[in-house]
Amino acid sequence: MRKPRTLTIVILWVVGGLISCSKSDNNQQAATDAAPNTLSEDERAAGWELLFDGSTLTGWKRYNHDTIGPLWSVKEGAILCDGTGLGEGSGAMGGSLLTTRTFGNFDLTFEWKISPGGNSGVLYHVVESPEFGHDYETGPEYQVMDDAGWQGGELKPAQLVGSNYDMFEAPANKKVMPVGEWNTGRIVYNNGHVEHWLNGEKTVEFEEGSEDYNQRYQSSKWVDYPGWNKSKTGAISLQDHGAPVYYRNIKIRAL
């Protein structure tokens, strides 16, 4: 008996769909299994660059110092700042780690994991100069921290993880992985348009110079720092805040 033509078409459609789903699943699994600190062919074609090679601190330096110092190292394919028991900036031995290159408009992605009660951040448009004691005096910050475990002073919503520090707060229901697990972060800066992302969800979006921005600035700590956010090009910086923190998969694309 000949099978009805419509039945044959349905069978082919179902089989084709299963093959397509299988390919999609394989592609997603391949992306998930990609080795850290590497670029895919598609990423290279789109203009992405690695800022961390996975094994050395080539392309990085300590803020206002000629040497990296003892706190920053590479461990198991990640940049580690081990400031255990030390304060922000960790005295003469510490200080934030910043790129030797500068960037203007960019799309930056990175992975991070924090220690219990830890605090750190990723800053951009950082200017290095002896007149400034810390990177945060010049560059805006994507806050990285353990909100729930923080044992310091009381923080405002705009000082919690995923926020643009002391300016724009991330939502209270943001998705954060448990302490010791990897989170993904993203900062987009394009001619004053700024976005923060945390684990695939947008947490912050604003326009520099808008009325809302100016009002928030006047109420922030940054009014006391005359060099803050004045340059629209600068280094990317990983903050030393006296707590162990890890970074990897640091990728940037010029816009």
Sort strands 183-190 and 106-114 into parallel, antiparallel or unpaired: antiparallel
**Euclidean distance between CA atoms 210 and 52, whole angstroms:** 34
Rounded Cα gap, residues 176 and 142, in angstroms: 14
Per the DSSP assignment, residues forming a β-bridge with 144 are 120
| pLDDT above 60 (res 227) | yes
Count of CB atoms situated within 10 Å of the CB of 1: 3
Residue 24 pLDDT class (50, 70, 90 cuts): very low
What's the predicted TM-score (pTM) here? 0.85
pLDDT at 92: 61
Length of the chain, in residues: 255
Give the whole-angstrom CA distance, residue 112 versus residue 105: 22
Q: Considering only 7-11, 61-65, 145-149, 196-200, which range has the smallest mean pLDDT?
A: 7-11
Provide the H-helix boundaries in 85-141: none
Burial 43-68 (b: 16+ CB within 10 A, else e): beeeebebbbebeeeeebbbbbeeee
Supply the pLDDT for residue 214: 98
Worst-scoring range by mean pLDDT, 86-90, 149-153, 231-235? 86-90
Q: SS3 for 156?
A: coil
Residue 20 banded pLDDT, cuts 50, 70, 90: very low
pLDDT value at 210 more than 50 = yes
What's the confidence (pLDDT) of residue 88? 58
Q: Which tops the pLDDT comparison, 220 or 34?
A: 220
Residue 31 has pLDDT above 90, yes or no: no
Give the per-residue pLDDT at 34.
Answer: 78
Domains of the chain, by residue range, sit at 1-33, 39-254
Rounded-to-integer distance, Cα 48 and Cα 111, Å: 15
**Contact 185/110 with Cβ under 8 angstroms?**
yes
The mean pLDDT value for 175-204 works out to 97
Amino acid letter at 40? S
- What is the mean predicted confidence (pLDDT) over 102-125? 96
Secondary structure letter of residue 178 according to DSSP? P
The average pLDDT across 217-224 equals 98
Check whether 221 has a pLDDT greater than 80: yes
Give the C-alpha separation, 151 to 61, whole Å: 29
227, 132 Cβ separation under 8 angstroms: yes
Top-ranked range on mean pLDDT: pick from 5-9, 17-21, 45-49, 86-90: 45-49
pLDDT at 3 over 50: no
Considering the chain, what is the average pLDDT of its residues?
Answer: 87
- pLDDT tens across 80-101, in order? 998 665 555 555 667 899 999 9
Pick the more confident residue, 5 or 193: 193
CATH code given to domain 39-254: 2.60.120.560
Could you tell me if 220 and 214 are in contact, meaning their C-beta atoms sit under 8 angstroms apart? no
